[in-house]
Amino acid sequence: MEWMSLLLFVAVIVFLLAGFPVAFTLGGTGLLFAMLGVATGSFDGAFLYALPSRIFGVMNNDTLIAVPLFVFMGITLERARIAEQLLETLSDLFGSLRGGLGIAVTVVGMLLAASTGIVGATVVTMGLLSLPTMLKRGYSAEVATGTICASGTLGQIIPPSIILVMLGDVMSSAYQQAQLSQGIFSPRTVSVGDLFAGAIIPGLLLVLLYIAYLLLLAVIHPSSIPSAQDIADDSQPVTVRRVFGALLPPLLLIFAVLGSILGGFATPTEAAAVGAVGALLLAMERRQLKLDRLQEIMRGTIRISSMVFLILIGASVFSLVFRGYGGDDVVRNLLSSLPGGTIGAVVVVMLVMFLLGFVLDFIEITFVVVPIVGPILLSMGLDPVWLGIMIAVNLQTSFLTPPFGFALFYLRGVAPPSVTTGQIYRGVIPFVIIQLLALLIIAMFPDLVTWLPNRLYGQ
């Protein structure tokens, strides 16, 4: 009855496309197939006895406590108008350079990614703040929307990314399973800190590639990007004090969070608590923390965190039933029989995840797909940090790809009516190509990912 596991996976995708809530779809479909299997004698109901301990393990997971703390940090910074001040300052700073506003948007997107780690919030914030300004200053709608979408999705890969926190927990479990299946009973571990360190160079590589594309476009297609003379006269003088006033607070917060993790002074959960307190202090210093706004921040944090943990519980039910039907053996045999060996298996898994990224959020893919394919790929000898970063960049690419990329929907919701959906689609295509190029570079030069973790932690 192993074919039931594949039918279960297809059923989940169908229900999700029909619009049912993700968490209840995962858990409900899993329980439905379990009951059908018990009734027909094709499923051992004893598998469900492990469900309470799994749920307790989720709620008792110290690493996952970092998720609501990072969410709180990101929402607080969004309400503190950090992005608005950064964008105004950097756009004036780069104003004399052709394409300077686009570069400013990219840099602000990078800083917001390192401060918040929430893709949807970053894209919406950047769309509201920078899209009208870019259009007013003569940027073509394609260049403006493509730059905003691409820079907004940097929160997927640049730490402290929420996806890297969740992916680190899943990859740690998958890595231990892979080693135990190979007869290694003193398994090595991989941590969230390893993924954070491994993501820094690929994240900076993407930022540099984005900026290089904008500079190249300014040379070969200058009509889409205004010249220095076309910059509006409403820019304010840029002083050292103004630049430091805009850059220093978020940079200090990033250094406090990332530096404490990479330096080994704090766990990701402890660093997330530092970030949450730091974001509160920044909001108070900017007088952006009134009681009603604090209530909005708390409600937003509870809403997003509840969604994450409900999905995780539903995914636990799904994966338990999937394994009960022998689905992991089906996937292992399928990947092992592919031509090209390990390379062929990685290419197929990346392609499947890329396509699933059109219809599933990164949370579902992290909690549903990665636990299935992760142990199998890692048992083939792949580095867990490299594989985790490849998955993160891949999902970031699917977030950008028309016609179903989530970032496109986020921007469409806040873009003015004069910007068409077709312009948004055309604008992101060059950045999708850049993403695929970066994915290829990381695949060909894995040291870009593994060098810094090895340097820091001596693995």
Identify whether the C-beta of residue 432 lies closer than 8 Å to the C-beta of residue 412: no
Identify whether the C-beta of residue 288 lies closer than 8 Å to the C-beta of residue 81: yes
Identify whether the C-beta of residue 174 lies closer than 8 Å to the C-beta of residue 384: yes
CA–CA distance, 232 with 227 (Å, rounded to integer): 11
Q: Residues 97, 101, 107, 111: is their CA dihedral positive or negative?
A: positive
Burial (CB count within 10 angstroms: exposed 0-12, middle 13-18, buried 19+), residue 263: exposed
Which residue type sits at 182? Q
CA–CA distance, 54 with 32 (Å, rounded to integer): 19
CA 309 to chain centre: 17
Tens-digit pLDDT string for the chain (459 aa): 667 888 888 888 888 778 787 778 888 998 999 898 888 888 887 878 888 887 887 777 777 888 888 888 878 877 777 777 777 788 777 767 777 888 888 888 888 777 666 666 678 777 887 888 888 888 889 999 999 989 888 888 888 778 888 888 889 888 888 888 777 777 788 888 899 999 999 999 999 999 999 999 988 888 788 765 555 455 566 677 878 888 888 888 888 888 888 888 888 888 889 888 988 888 888 777 788 888 888 898 888 888 878 888 888 888 888 888 888 778 878 887 888 888 899 999 999 888 887 767 777 788 888 888 888 899 888 999 999 999 999 988 888 888 777 788 888 888 888 888 889 999 999 999 999 999 999 999 999 999 999 888 765
128: its two tokens: 């509201």
Identify whether the C-beta of residue 332 lies closer than 8 Å to the C-beta of residue 376: yes
Return all residues near 214 (Cβ < 8 A) that are at least 6 apart. Answer: 99, 102, 103, 106, 143, 147, 225
Q: Cα dist. 333→219, 337, 338, 377, 380 in Å?
A: 51, 6, 9, 12, 13
Return all residues near 178 (Cβ < 8 A) that are at least 6 apart. Answer: 374, 375, 376, 378, 379
Identify whether the C-beta of residue 136 lies closer than 8 Å to the C-beta of residue 129: no
The pTM is what? Answer: 0.83
CA–CA distance, 116 with 160 (Å, rounded to integer): 7
Domain ranges of the chain: 3-457
338: its two tokens: 């592919």
